Amino acid sequence: MYKILTLNNISSLGLQRLPREDYEIGSEISQPDGILLRSFKMHDMVIPDSVKAIGRAGAGVNNIPVDQMSSRGVPVFNAPGANANAVKELVLAGLLMASRNINSAMKFASGIEGDDAAISVAVEAGKKNFVGSELPSKTLGVIGLGAIGVRVANAALSLGMKVVGYDPLISVQSAWQLSSGVEKAISLDHLFTQCDAVTVHVPLIDATRGIVSAERLKLMPKGGIIVNLARGGICDDTAVLASLNKGHTSTYVIDFPTAELMKHPKVLAFPHLGASTNEAEENCAVMVADSVRDFLDDGTVVNAVNFPEAFMPRNGGTRITIANANVPNMVGQISTLLANAGLNIADLLNKSRGDIAYTIIDLDGDISEETVAAIRGINGVLSMRTLPSKA
Ligand SMILES: NC(=O)c1ccc[n+]([C@@H]2O[C@H](COP(=O)([O-])OP(=O)(O)OC[C@H]3O[C@@H](n4cnc5c(N)ncnc54)[C@H](O)[C@@H]3O)[C@@H](O)[C@H]2O)c1
Ligand SMILES: O=C(O)[C@H](O)COP(=O)(O)O
């Protein structure tokens, strides 16, 4: 029986992927084997040694101490692309709200008093204050062309916008999905000089913190729109507020409001709503629950942010899995210990990613506690699991 601790509400469709005969799930579980969460901030939490896997039902993992988990040989899974359409739709909504002054116009309309005739007079007199502009012929800059950025770029093209993209680390999969109509910016500065609106879709990491800066905002034409549904910190909020106050930037659409941002009339603040659709919550929960289950049951690794992909069909015998530092002779030392214990290797898979290597070994026989301890004792082994044979 595996124990799963949930740190946020996880869609029941996802939790149903973990059969109750094998999985106990709850928000008060002690000594869990796995943790499922959304945006719960884990950095200040003491993560029990029992934890073997962490599953983020979403995209961003900046709320999880991934490096610490890597050093403990614990994979962190996420749900790549599972909420991308939801975010794309909110980006488009934000762009439309900003360019048509929808928020302030709605506030005006809801503040009108009087009978129907008076309302009609006020509406017709007041609408001139909310004249907007249309998206075709405008240029959108998309920073980060991953699951969300590609969808936003392609959708904006289909709405008639010119689209300029920037992502020096673009994956082959994203490049395949990106419309050929999206132009490539040669640098971030190049992107800002061309764009009436800029939207960010990068993870919050050192390299992306503050990339929407005072200097870059000045490069944009007057009246520009900034959309940040990625993470607070990617835009320099102080610089954006200064640019709004000067009248250079027209609107800041943000999914991560702060006290200062929320009270500004030119800020459209959403309550971290990007992934909050029934579809996205279900997609994310199902995807990450499957990954955590496949790992706990079989040692399979799919969609981990810190481990290599690893899948080997079960041959029916006992399986051991080892995460270790990616240095020479680890597999040699492990197989020597197995040979010394008289254990034959039926099948073996060894993969690496950055500093971590991961090995799956199916054995023709049962492994003793003594041999497990010897493998755990090899310098560089970060974690080891023994999975009972499967019929
Ligand atoms: N508001 C929400 O509810 C919500 C929902 C989902 C994701 N997000 C945020 O959006 C981010 C992106 O999500 P995604 O699903 O598209 O992730 P993704 O991993 O598919 O895409 C991220 C892209 O950013 C690119 N990138 C990384 N560093 C970069 C840099 N310095 N400059 C330019 N590009 C860079 C990567 O190459 C990748 O293509 C997440 O990390 C998360 O923080 C927010
Ligand atoms: O990174 C993400 O996937 C989003 O920020 C969604 O976060 P949430 O699951 O807390 O809505």
For residue 232, the Cα-to-chain-centroid distance in whole angstroms is 14
pLDDT at 299 > cutoff 80: yes
Assess whether 301 and 389 both reside in one domain. no
Is residue 250, in this structure, part of any structural domain at all? yes
Q: Which of 269, 298, 330 is at the close of a domain? A: 269
Q: Ligand 1 pocket, 45 CB below 6 A?
A: no
**If you average pLDDT over every residue of the chain, what do you get?**
97
Residue 346: closest CA among 300, 324, 313: 313
- Residues 1-20 have pLDDT tens digits of 999 999 999 999 999 999 99
Q: Ligand 2 pocket, 39 CB below 6 A?
A: yes
* Span from the CA of 60 to the centroid of ligand 2 (angstroms): 6
pLDDT at 220 > cutoff 90: yes
Q: Ligand 2 pocket, 324 CB below 6 A?
A: no
Assess whether 8 and 78 both reside in one domain. yes
Assess whether 146 and 249 both reside in one domain. yes
Taking the C-alpha atoms of residue 130 and residue 132, their distance in angstroms, rounded to an integer, is 6
Assess whether 241 and 170 both reside in one domain. yes
Beta-sheet pairing, 356-363 with 345-353: antiparallel
Assess whether 294 and 245 both reside in one domain. no
Residues 358-365 have a mean pLDDT of 96
Residues 181-191 have a mean pLDDT of 97
Region of 127 (left: φ > 0; alpha: ψ -120 to 50; beta: rest) is alpha
Is residue 229, in this structure, part of any structural domain at all? yes
Assess whether 296 and 353 both reside in one domain. no
Residues 359/373, Cβ–Cβ less than 8 Å: no
What's the total number of domains in the chain?
3
Q: Ligand 2 pocket, 60 CB below 6 A?
A: yes
Assess whether 332 and 361 both reside in one domain. yes
Q: Which of 221, 246, 269 is at the close of a domain? A: 269
Is residue 379, in this structure, part of any structural domain at all? yes
Is residue 103, in this structure, part of any structural domain at all? no
Is residue 34, in this structure, part of any structural domain at all? yes
Is residue 112, in this structure, part of any structural domain at all? no
By annotation, the residues acting in catalysis are: 231, 260, 272
Is residue 380, in this structure, part of any structural domain at all? yes
Ligand 1 atom at minimal distance to the Cα of residue 145: 39
Assess whether 303 and 353 both reside in one domain. no
CATH code where residue 337 lies: 3.30.70.260
Per-residue pLDDT band at 390 (split at 50, 70, 90): confident
Quote the pLDDT of residue 315. 84
CATH code where residue 217 lies: 3.40.50.720
Task: For residue 373, give its domain range.
Answer: 308-391
- Residues 301-341 have pLDDT tens digits of 999 999 999 999 998 689 999 999 999 999 999 999 999 99
Assess whether 291 and 262 both reside in one domain. no
Q: Which of 269, 295, 327 is at the close of a domain? A: 269
| Most informative mutation of 88, 202, 209 for ligand 1 (most atoms within 8 A of CB) | 202
Taking the C-alpha atoms of residue 304 and residue 312, their distance in angstroms, rounded to an integer, is 16
Per-residue pLDDT band at 293 (split at 50, 70, 90): very high
Work out the angle between the directed axes of helices 84-99 and 102-111 (0-180°, nearest 10): 60
